[in-house]
Amino acid sequence: MSISASQIKRELFALSDEQKREFLPYFFKTKEGQYGYGDKFIGVVVPKQRELVKKYKSLELPEIEILLKDEYHECRLTALLFLVEIFRQTKKDTVLQKSYYDFYISHYQHINNWDLVDLSAPLICGKYLLNETDRDDLQKFAQSDNLWLQRISIISTYTFIKNHQFEDTFEVAKILLHHRHDLIHKATGWMLREVGNRDFESEYNFLTADSRHKTMPRTMLRYSIEKFPEELRQKFLKGNI
């Protein structure tokens, strides 16, 4: 029996926790002028949403689209978790994978908070582009004027990093190096740190080339060097490299 978006939404409301419903708007910065302005919450934690996806395993794309366009944050996230799951089930069907990738990107305006990006972009964009020679989309996204597309561009490279491919991370990071928003500072610094966790020299060389460590936003630098030996970390922070 096929499941509908409306049934998923009803089940999400049945899982609502009042304390979470009150806390999440604060956590995700929903006041006027903040990045999550106007977002609404049911009050369902991510593990509960994952259980729901695991329960049904699949959801038709038109139903995913309905959930993804919903006003409630948890509906959109659950939609993306379903999309991740059906993408995973495609295995090596590159045609089907591309259709899911295209669907994802065409609905970027609904992937409009950092958790929605972080829990989906590496597992859809990253997984699809991993086997593609043309990854120019990521640089185009980074050069856009949309905060969430920009975050998608850098977070998607996490999949490449896990496969010891760092160049795309560096190219996107160059574009985002002087971005004004701390959500991009944190995301870029996080990905650079992940590179360093696998290849310290590559991250070190990127940070010091053209004295990037001296001009990049402080938060980005702090995230990047978080795992460095303390003495070296302090040298970076004090500009003594």
Q: Are residues 205 and 230 in the same domain?
A: yes
Picking from 60, 88, 119, the residue at the C-terminal end of a domain is: 119
The 3-state DSSP class for residue 228 equals: coil
Q: Are residues 6 and 47 in the same domain?
A: yes
Could you tell me if residue 60 is inside a domain? yes
Could you tell me if residue 189 is inside a domain? yes
Q: Are residues 139 and 113 in the same domain?
A: no
Q: Are residues 104 and 171 in the same domain?
A: no
Q: Which helix (H) or strand (E) holds 236?
A: helix 230-238
Could you tell me if residue 124 is inside a domain? no
Alpha-carbon span 205 to 213, nearest angstrom: 10
Output the six-digit token pair for 147.
């905060």
What's residue 230's pLDDT? 97
C-alpha closest to that of 176 among 197, 154, 158: 154
The number of CA neighbours under 13 Å toward the Cβ of 76 is 21
Which pTM value belongs to this model? 0.95
Picking from 95, 119, 143, the residue at the C-terminal end of a domain is: 119
What's residue 93's pLDDT? 92
Q: Are residues 18 and 68 in the same domain?
A: yes
Q: Collect the ranges in the chain with pLDDT lower than 70.
A: 1
> What's the domain range around 138?
133-241
Q: Are residues 112 and 226 in the same domain?
A: no
Could you tell me if residue 147 is inside a domain? yes
What's residue 91's pLDDT? 82
Tens-digit pLDDT profile for residues 46-79: 999 999 999 999 999 999 999 999 999 999 999 9
Alpha-carbon span 99 to 3, nearest angstrom: 21
Q: Residue 52: how many CB atoms within 10 A of its CB? A: 20
Q: Are residues 55 and 108 in the same domain?
A: yes
Could you tell me if residue 126 is inside a domain? no
Q: Are residues 75 and 166 in the same domain?
A: no
Alpha-carbon span 151 to 154, nearest angstrom: 5
Tens-digit pLDDT profile for residues 16-56: 999 999 999 999 999 999 999 999 999 999 999 999 999 99
Q: Are residues 165 and 238 in the same domain?
A: yes
Write the burial class of residue 203 (CB in 10 Å: 0-12 exposed, 13-18 middle, 19+ buried). buried
Could you tell me if residue 88 is inside a domain? yes
Could you tell me if residue 90 is inside a domain? yes
Q: Domain tally for the chain?
A: 2
Q: Are residues 55 and 92 in the same domain?
A: yes
